[in-house]
Structure 1
Amino acid sequence: MSNDAQTPGTQTLTVPHLGTSTVGYRFGKPYDPALPTLVLVNSFTTSVDLYRPQFADPQLSGVANLLAIELYGHGLMRSTYEHFTYWDSAVANLQVLRELGIEQAFVLGTSQGGWVAARMALLAPGVVRGIVPLGTSMDDESRRSRDLGCWDGIEFCTPSIDALAEPVGDDWTVADEFVDAVLAAGLGADVSDDERAFWRTTYRRHYAGDDGRRRLRISTINLRDRDGLHARLGDVRCPVLWLHGTADGVYSVANAGEEIRMFSGSANAELRVVDGGQHFLSASHPAVVNAAAAEFVGRWA
């Protein structure tokens, strides 16, 4: 892949999952084996760029290696097989750690990244030392979650899934309206012009041509049709620090309050509510998230 197709600072490596996959990843600074590692898992259709505020924080970078890994369908991730699920992303993330020689890590995930973090903890309890879910849900898109004030993910995703069903030409790029809808859900109404322009450009780079259309469609199907984790959460043994914003327009604090109690086998499971925090909490309230993550890693490393 040519360098001009890549986000600055992002690298790729190959893992064997799904008939071999090329994974986009980025370290915040050169890897230091003396520090623990904090894996950062991005939200729906974003990339490693979601974690720019974390990479820029010297306090957080001083206590952990920051390693953002892109999910299937996102960023620079490509695979031999066209279809994938969140379980596949969890497996690929673990294989990235193995390829990089990192034996154990903490995992922080925003929105869909939160349930990928939980999947990683379930699949590899000897590798994952603790998880930090942000603005997430461990359910499928259920009536139960909507009754607790969560969004209607089926209503949000289905029009895009239908609109992306037919092949397109090489000149196709994702519509700005799609990007704006994701930003509104993730960051609320007050998105700056610079931030909006940044993400529109980033999305156009990653979701272009018929390959981009297919990956965007499968990513949206995954969001709408994912399996829930409720019956599995008791098997998560590592510590859990769940941060959730009061202004999250996708998943509610009430839902988080119910689900944190489902981590019944965890060494320590805590929910912290962030006043005014948006759905993409790592972007809307980075100072709060960074300080909490640094304390969590320092406590459990």
Structure 2
Amino acid sequence: MSATEAIQIPHLGGSNIGYRFGRPYDPSLPTLVMVNSFTTSVELYRPQFADEQLSTTANLLAIEPYGHGQTRAAYAQFTYWDTAVAALQVLDALGIPDAFVLGTSQGGWIAARMAMLAPGTVKGIIPLGTSMDFESQRSRELGCWNGVEFCTPAIDALAQPVGDDWVIPTELVDATLAEGMGDDVPDDERAFWHRTHQQNYAGDAGRERLRISSINLRDRDGLHGRLDAVRCPVLWMHGTADRVYSVANAEEEIGLFTGSAKAELRVVEGGQHFLSATHPEVVNAATVEFIDRWK
């Protein structure tokens, strides 16, 4: 697996986008873009990079959203639409003509945005443990979390400038890990994410990126009225133990992809919210099958 690099694109006044290839790019293979979940980085996809069958099926290319990992922009404000545009510009800058897109949680709705913006580029999307709604009363009635309650205390706490020695509090990291991976996060995995988050969210610039990322999660726009613009096939995988978004919500929303070549929901028994991390064998095998079918 290669190291994380940054590539320059023009969006948002000029941006450096963090990305990582699993192996050197092979133009004879299809490409799978992987977009990580809230506050994580390309390291979320270590289980995918380590999978031999997936790695020989497609070029694995993890791209970090605005506010995450090594991605930086000249403009301080950004939305999920900006990340969708940026990811497409990364493909163009790397000379990759088309790709499948897998996204975990927020990565799922970024994948959908990419498919809407560039139907000729995105060959299929694989949303994992996600939602296509805003933080609505409808979604809460279907068993999804209250993202406003989860995000607002952190947004308020991060409102004031901090010194150079500031790092993200571990309790914020632990709250995200609990929602994403459940209560039984191994000690070494927890320690890994404590270190990684504190490297990525340090100083006042790190505080600001974390705050805007949290605002994006809480205040995002819903996609229900736009989903008929997704033309490519969709494989949505959702875990029964997902604390954030419910299977019932996924069951409703998969039916909104009315323009898709084929839209399928696959329920994963015991799967957590960060499904690519907690159930990689299931996700990887289904992804190989999906790419082989639609490449």
TM-score bracket, normalised by the shorter chain, equals over 0.9
Counterpart check, 1:185 vs 2:190:
no
- 1:163-182 alignment to 2 at 5 Å? 163-182=157-176
Indicate the residue corresponding to 2:223 in structure 1. Answer: 229
- 1:46-57 alignment to 2 at 5 Å? 46-57=40-51
Indicate the residue corresponding to 1:200 in structure 2. Answer: 194
| TM-score, L = length of structure 1 | 0.97
| TM-score, L = length of structure 2 | 0.99
Given the alignment, which residue of 22, 30, 33 partners 1:36? 30
Given the alignment, which residue of 102, 110, 129 partners 2:104? 110
CA distance in 2, matches of 1:294, 1:224: 33
1:289 aligned partner, one-letter code:
V
Indicate the residue corresponding to 1:69 in structure 2. Answer: 63
Whether the aligned pair in 1 keeps the contact of 2:108 and 2:128 (CA below 8 Å) is yes
CA distance in 2, matches of 1:55, 1:8: 10
- 1:46-71 alpha-carbon deviations (Å, 9 max, x no partner): 00000000000000001000000000
Indicate the residue corresponding to 1:300 in structure 2. Answer: 294
1:283 aligned partner, one-letter code:
A
Whether the aligned pair in 1 keeps the contact of 2:39 and 2:213 (CA below 8 Å) is yes
1:238 aligned partner, one-letter code:
C
Q: SS of the counterpart of 2:88?
A: helix
- 1:241-280 alignment to 2 at 5 Å? 241-280=235-274
Unaligned runs of 5+ in 2: none
CA distance in 2, matches of 1:32, 1:252: 37
Q: SS of the counterpart of 2:140?
A: helix
Whether the aligned pair in 1 keeps the contact of 2:21 and 2:61 (CA below 8 Å) is yes
Whether the aligned pair in 1 keeps the contact of 2:2 and 2:23 (CA below 8 Å) is no
CA distance in 1, matches of 2:2, 2:100: 24
- 1:192-231 alpha-carbon deviations (Å, 9 max, x no partner): 0000000000000000000000000000000000000000
CA distance in 2, matches of 1:111, 1:80: 26
Given the alignment, which residue of 188, 213, 217 partners 2:211? 217
Counterpart check, 1:79 vs 2:86:
no
CA distance in 1, matches of 2:63, 2:229: 24
Indicate the residue corresponding to 1:95 in structure 2. Answer: 89
- 1:257-284 alpha-carbon deviations (Å, 9 max, x no partner): 0000000010000000000000000000
Tell me how far 1:8 sits from its aligned partner: 6.9
1:179 aligned partner, one-letter code:
V
2:150 aligned partner, one-letter code:
F
- 1:275-290 alignment to 2 at 5 Å? 275-290=269-284
CA distance in 2, matches of 1:216, 1:121: 26
Tell me how far 1:148 sits from its aligned partner: 0.1
Indicate the residue corresponding to 1:136 in structure 2. Answer: 130
Identity %: 73
Number of residue pairs matched by the alignment = 295
Tell me how far 1:134 sits from its aligned partner: 0.1
Unaligned runs of 5+ in 1: 1-6
Whether the aligned pair in 1 keeps the contact of 2:2 and 2:21 (CA below 8 Å) is no
Indicate the residue corresponding to 1:4 in structure 2. Answer: none
Provide runs of 4+ in structure 1 moved above 4 Å.
none
CA distance in 1, matches of 2:231, 2:163: 47
